[in-house]
Amino acid sequence: MSARQTYRGFCHCGRVSFELDAKLDYVMECNCSLCRKVGALWHGASDSSLRITGESELTLYQFNTMTAKHYSCRNCGVHPFSRPRLDPKRWAVNVRCIDAIDISALPLKRFDGANWEEAAKALHAQRN
Ligand SMILES: [Zn+2]
């Protein structure tokens, strides 16, 4: 297991970057209608553990319940983070934007976002 450390991530063109303080002990794959096309692998983060540079380059995309906020770079189209519907006060950071890690070595969790209501209920039951 990796210790908590600071990771640097970038969109493809580099206009958007971030620093993430995290213990990267998992990545989460979601099969909702958006994530399955974006191909992101997510890790949760609080406001205080994510510092974003290049915010003016971001475009916002929302759909369905309009709860989640999906941000991508307006220049290269890469999708580095979202405010997830599961907890919109937090961030979901796309770990694929962090070049310096071996993603295949990280444990993969799956979130059944295609059946969001049931999956969210199950996750809450697990935590409580
Ligand atoms: Zn970019």
Instruction: Report how far ligand 1's centroid is from the alpha carbon of 103 (Å).
Output: 21
Distance 17 CA to ligand 1 centre (A): 9
The 10s digit of each residue's pLDDT in 88-104 is 999 999 999 999 999 99
Helix (H) or strand (E) holding 124: helix 116-127
Cα(99) to ligand 1 centroid in Å equals: 14
Dist. CA 124 → ligand 1 center (Å): 34
Average pLDDT of the residues of the chain: 94
64 C-alpha to ligand 1 centroid (Å) = 25
Rg (CA), the chain: 14
Could you tell me the pTM of the whole model? Answer: 0.91
